[in-house]
Structure 1
Amino acid sequence: MATILVVDDELGIRDLLSEILNDEGHAVELAANAAEARSLRQQMRPDLVLLDIWMPDTDGVTLLKEWSSTGLLTMPVIMMSGHATIDTAVEATRIGASAFLEKPITLQKLLKAVDQGLNKVPKAAPGGAALVPPRLVGMEVTVEEAMTHHHVNGVAPVNGNGLMPTLPMGPQAQQTFNLDSPLREARDEFEKAYFEYHLAKESGSMTRVAEKTGLERTHLYRKLKQLGVDLARAKRNGLG
């Protein structure tokens, strides 16, 4: 049995997570905001923390940063959010978060992340930061992974000009990323190519793309609109 601290400003989320974790045999402490979380962390050393990113007083990333700088980040912390960007998730993992769960959180993903967190004790780094391999649970490919790994689904490594070929949208298509551009622009370019690739591969089926990328359909539609993905063109360029 582990002691888990749940930090979320939504009562329904706190109650639901508490019920699930209690059923799994864990002891659960609840905090509705960063102030309550600070107080509980001073009183105890939880085995794991589930920390919401967007809260009214102090956001979860700021609280994570506080714990890291003061030597209190001695336990795995799983970040949670329904609206976080990949930038936010990457920042949190760099600070010391062990995983990231995207809301709405499924039971399977929650239990998997908790099990992984409890079975991997973070090592303290100078200054109190935890050294934990970034694992963005529920996000199949991250920009950080795409830009640091030598290959992504068969994509060639970065060349001498700082350009990396993207996943082809069709048999003849080829596109490059400029890795010298600002992170936000590079991220958007990659995400657009990523979704266009899967849309083409699945012949425009939003259901199959949602399953493949691990996103809810409504979130997927919103993301595609935000990136300016041409759904009709992506379907025409299907791989058959």
Structure 2
Amino acid sequence: MATILVVDDEMGIRALLSEILTDEGHTVEVAENAANARLVRERLRPDLVLLDIWMPDVDGITLLKEWGATAQLNMPVIMMSGHGTIDTAVEATKYGAIAFLEKPITLQKLLRAVEQGLARPSARPAAPADLQTAMLQGNGGYRPDAMTVEAAMTGGLGLQPSGPLNLGPQPEQSFDLDRPLREARDAFEKSYFEFHLARENGSMTRVAEKTGLERTHLYRKLKQLGVDLSRGKRGAG
């Protein structure tokens, strides 16, 4: 798994992103401003950086420019902002960002952006004109949720999936129905959760999202059914 640096002046954002990415198996370090980000980046050499634009001392775009000018931009950087515009996103990609996420960031978009960023850490940023075209959708207007990794990808960032998913158990399986209802139901539920765990590479966050269960409830359910959580856990070995 990767080492990810989260740079944001809001404690709640840092804590939330750290919790999600740690649950995905990544090592997460946080920084509340540009000064701390410089120190952490030099100490850890992260595999990817999530960088907020609006910070009180030095803003994210300025820090991004600094890293680029000093040959320190050797990791993918995903910019984040709650007040972004098309021009801001274009400027970020011009100076080396691979994607732009608008706050509030949904779980699905965050994980997809991180996955795509780590798949091709040396991906070439899109040309600003291409990215701007991708962000303009429908009736020639700006769509707020277009300022996400999906729009950036269609704008030519060159990010590709790391490879086909290992689906594990197949979605269609046969079950022995000639037994008590409780046993048959438990067998089905066990196969159901094993399928989703394999499909999501052991990510409890994604499985909880897919199945509509709270993570605490999901953990209890898997334990009750005797599901082996170690088999699908990514990063094992």
- Which bin holds the TM-score, normalised by the shorter protein? 0.5 to 0.7
1: distance between equivalents of 2:26 and 2:73? 20
The residue that corresponds to 1:41 in the other structure is 41
Scaled by the length of structure 2, the TM-score of the pair is 0.56
Q: How do residues 59-98 of structure 1 correspond to structure 2 at under 5 angstroms?
A: 59-98=59-98
Is the contact made by 1:122 and 1:132 (CA closer than 8 Å) also made in structure 2? no
The residue that corresponds to 1:236 in the other structure is none
RMSD value over aligned CA atoms?
2.7
Q: How do residues 1-240 of structure 1 correspond to structure 2 at under 5 angstroms?
A: 1-122=1-122, 131-133=124-126, 143-145=132-134, 193-194=140-141
2: distance between equivalents of 1:12 and 1:82? 14
What SS does the aligned partner of 2:101 have? strand
Structure 1 residue 84: Cα displacement = 1.4
Q: Deviation per CA, 1:141-181: give whole Å up to 9, x if none.
A: 953447xxxxx88xxxxxxxxxxxxx7x6xxxxxxxxxxxx
What SS does the aligned partner of 2:50 have? strand
CA change 1:210–1:79 in 2 (3 A) is: closer
Is the contact made by 2:89 and 2:147 (CA closer than 8 Å) also made in structure 1? no
Any gaps of 5 or more consecutive residues in structure 1?
124-130, 136-140, 147-151, 154-166, 170-192, 196-208, 216-240
The residue that corresponds to 2:163 in the other structure is none
2: distance between equivalents of 1:11 and 1:95? 26
Is the contact made by 1:33 and 1:57 (CA closer than 8 Å) also made in structure 2? yes
Scaled by the length of structure 1, the TM-score of the pair is 0.56
The one-letter code matched in structure 2 to 1:50 is L
2: distance between equivalents of 1:34 and 1:88? 18
Is the contact made by 1:98 and 1:134 (CA closer than 8 Å) also made in structure 2? no
What SS does the aligned partner of 1:194 have? coil
2: distance between equivalents of 1:30 and 1:61? 18
Is the contact made by 2:3 and 2:46 (CA closer than 8 Å) also made in structure 1? yes
Structure 1 residue 43: Cα displacement = 1.3
What SS does the aligned partner of 2:78 have? strand
Structure 1 residue 26: Cα displacement = 0.1
The 4+ residue runs of structure 1 with deviation greater than 3 A are none
What SS does the aligned partner of 2:141 have? helix
The one-letter code matched in structure 1 to 2:141 is Y
- Report sequence identity in percent: 63
2: distance between equivalents of 1:46 and 1:14? 16
Structure 1 residue 210: Cα displacement = 7.6
The one-letter code matched in structure 1 to 2:26 is H
CA change 1:23–1:81 in 2 (3 A) is: same
Count of matched residue positions in the alignment of Structure 1 and Structure 2: 147
2: distance between equivalents of 1:113 and 1:214? 12
CA change 1:13–1:210 in 2 (3 A) is: closer
Structure 1 residue 77: Cα displacement = 0.2
Is the contact made by 1:76 and 1:98 (CA closer than 8 Å) also made in structure 2? yes
